[in-house]
Amino acid sequence: MTTPLTPDDPAAATTPARAHHSARAHSFNAAAAQYAANRPSYPPALFDALEELTGRPLKGARVVDVGAGTGLATARLHERGADVIAVEPGAGMATEFRRTLPGVPVVRGNGDALPLAGHRADLLTYAQAWHWTDPALAVPEALRVLRPGGALALWWNTDAHDVPWIAESARRVDRHFAHLNLSAEKRDFDARFADPTGTLGFVHREVRWSRRVPLDTHLANLGSHSVFLTDTEERAAAFFAEERRHLLAAFPTGRVEETYDVHLLVARTPET
């Protein structure tokens, strides 16, 4: 597990590990259009599970989507009738968000210090973003912003490693980044990871889904992950040339079937 850190200016980080973590948290801003065009969204079944576990419909709910990025999750919440405000620290991601979802408000800020009044939100969501926060700060901030009887929901699209080609590709990525020891940062997606303080009682749900995309989309999706965005251009180009060869052998038609398990964690706050 990584030590979650705040996304301060990388230049101000005090250790090489903090600087690297911070650079990765910021890395999406330079690749926001690539991110928006190629990253997977989230399946309807995830939002059904979210409604079941929070015990309320999304329609009409006051939702704050934190680390909203380009708005992939925000768009789904908005379509379901939620009254959503997005929070995003990065300038590049927020610009892309405003381009794709001009009717949804987005404010600059991060999960460790939410720029919002207390006790108003029914639901706080973090799609693929909680791991960039410092839970020692983000948990109390979530509790401050949520109304009594509200809920905090965290989720991640994770690669389904029981699918052989996905496991092989993941091993190639691990080898490419052997110097970073990525296996040490694999997350358990359990309550201990999300809230080391143990304040919140998370319920865990897994939702499997898949999508078929052109190989170029798959490679650009992979390339929009922070490890590649902070790799050198030469190393990344060499990796992707090789990866394209491997995947064309597995998918001669040039269409790739990506399979994901969405890990959803939901914690409800006390009614009083």
- Residue closer to ligand SAM, measured from CB, 62 or 225: 225
One of 90, 135, 150, 223 touching ligand SAM (CB under 6 A): 90
One of 31, 49, 73, 220 touching ligand SAM (CB under 6 A): 73
In 3D space, the residue among 98, 66, 108 whose CA is nearest the CA of residue 84 turns out to be 66
The string of DSSP letters for 185-210 reads G----SHHHH-TT--S-EEEEEEEEE
# residues contacting ligand SAM (CB under 6 A)? 23
- Buried/exposed code over 166-176 (b: 16+ C-beta within 10 A; e: otherwise): beebbeebeeb
Listed as own residue / partner, the contacts of 196-200 with beta carbons closer than 8 Å and 24 or more positions apart are 196/135, 196/136, 197/135, 197/136, 197/139, 199/139, 199/143, 200/139, 200/152, 200/267
- Residue closer to ligand SAM, measured from CB, 110 or 269: 110
Q: How far apart are the first and last CA of the chain?
A: 34
One of 43, 89, 135, 223 touching ligand SAM (CB under 6 A): 89
Instruction: Write each residue from 95 to 114 as x if it is in contact with ligand SAM (CB under 6 A), else as -, in one continuous string.
Output: ---------------xxx--
Q: Does 129 bind ligand SAM (CB under 6 A)?
A: yes
One of 39, 76, 78, 268 touching ligand SAM (CB under 6 A): 39
Q: Does 27 bind ligand SAM (CB under 6 A)?
A: no
Q: Does 260 bind ligand SAM (CB under 6 A)?
A: no
Give yes or no for a contact between 54 and 123, defined as CB atoms under 8 angstroms apart. yes
- Residue closer to ligand SAM, measured from CB, 132 or 202: 132
Q: Does 43 bind ligand SAM (CB under 6 A)?
A: no
Q: In the complex, what is the shortest distance from the CB of residue 159 to ligand SAM, in angstroms, rounded to a whole number?
A: 14
Query: Nearest residue by C-beta to ligand SAM?
Result: 69
Residues whose CB falls within 8 Å of the CB of residue 99, separated by 6 or more in sequence, listed in order: none
Residue 264 bridge partners (DSSP) = 155, 205
Of 66-74, 100-108, 116-124, 188-196, the window that binds ligand SAM (rule: CB under 6 A) is 66-74
Residues whose CB falls within 8 Å of the CB of residue 172, separated by 6 or more in sequence, listed in order: 239, 242, 243, 246
Q: For residue 102, give the amino acid letter.
A: P
Of 55-63, 121-129, 162-170, 233-241, the window that binds ligand SAM (rule: CB under 6 A) is 121-129
Q: Does 127 bind ligand SAM (CB under 6 A)?
A: yes
- Residue closer to ligand SAM, measured from CB, 110 or 169: 110
| Distance (Å, whole) CA 127 – CA 42 | 9
- Residue closer to ligand SAM, measured from CB, 70 or 270: 70
Q: For residue 23, give the amino acid letter.
A: A
- Cα Rg of the chain (Å, integer): 18
| Distance (Å, whole) CA 226 – CA 133 | 15
- Residue closer to ligand SAM, measured from CB, 151 or 227: 227
Q: Which residues bind ligand SAM (CB under 6 A)?
A: 6-7, 25, 28, 39, 66-69, 72-73, 88-90, 93, 110-112, 127-129, 132-133
